[in-house]
Amino acid sequence: MKKSITLLLIITLTFSANAQKRGEKKAVRITVQNFFKGFHKGDTLLLKKTIHKDIIAQTTFTTQKGDKVLKSTPKAYDVLLNFAKSVKPTDNYDEKILSYTINVDGNLASVWTPYEFYNNEKFSHCGVNSFQLFNNNGNWEIIYLVDTRRKNDCKAPQK
């Protein structure tokens, strides 16, 4: 009898922990999706809900000469919000996320998203976004974003 109760307790706790982790992964994914909605549609209120005030943003790319470059964005919070403010209703940005790989441990999450970027339905570039998020008292916020950008060697066909 004791073994049955212990086994039932272990199964219940395992199920509960897995359900909680799935819920956290869903919340993290929604945060990243809302980041893109806010960023590309010029919705600064939505964008502010997804990024931490101390966010760090970087991009890495290869120059035409073949040099590997890491470019940091000073005052990334302000830059992101200012970009969103500049988006016009006629702008048509589309960052097609090809997949999500999400890992969560407590109040830290990591998201890996391969993407293709289109501007007015014309292919611009592709790459991978890597997000680090912090659960700030129940609200997932992006604290670090780095991406790669290239025009060739994209996995999905270009339009």
Residues sharing a CB contact under 8 Å with residue 1, sequence separation 6 or more, in sequence order: none
Question: What per-residue confidence (pLDDT) applies to 89?
Answer: 82
Domains of the chain: 2-148 (3.10.450.50)
Q: Write the DSSP assignment of 21-57 as a string of letters.
A: HHHHHHHHHHHHHHHHHHHHHT-HHHHHHHEEEEEEE
**One digit per residue, pLDDT tens: the chain, 159 residues?**
666 555 444 544 444 444 455 789 999 999 999 999 998 889 999 999 999 999 999 999 998 899 999 999 999 999 999 999 998 888 888 999 999 999 999 999 999 999 999 999 999 999 999 999 999 999 999 999 999 999 888 865 443
Determine the pLDDT at residue 4: 59
pLDDT of residue 60: 95
Say if CB 22 and CB 63 are below 8 A apart.
no
Do 133 and 34 form a contact (C-beta atoms < 8 A)?
Answer: no
Looking at residue 154, its pLDDT comes to 82
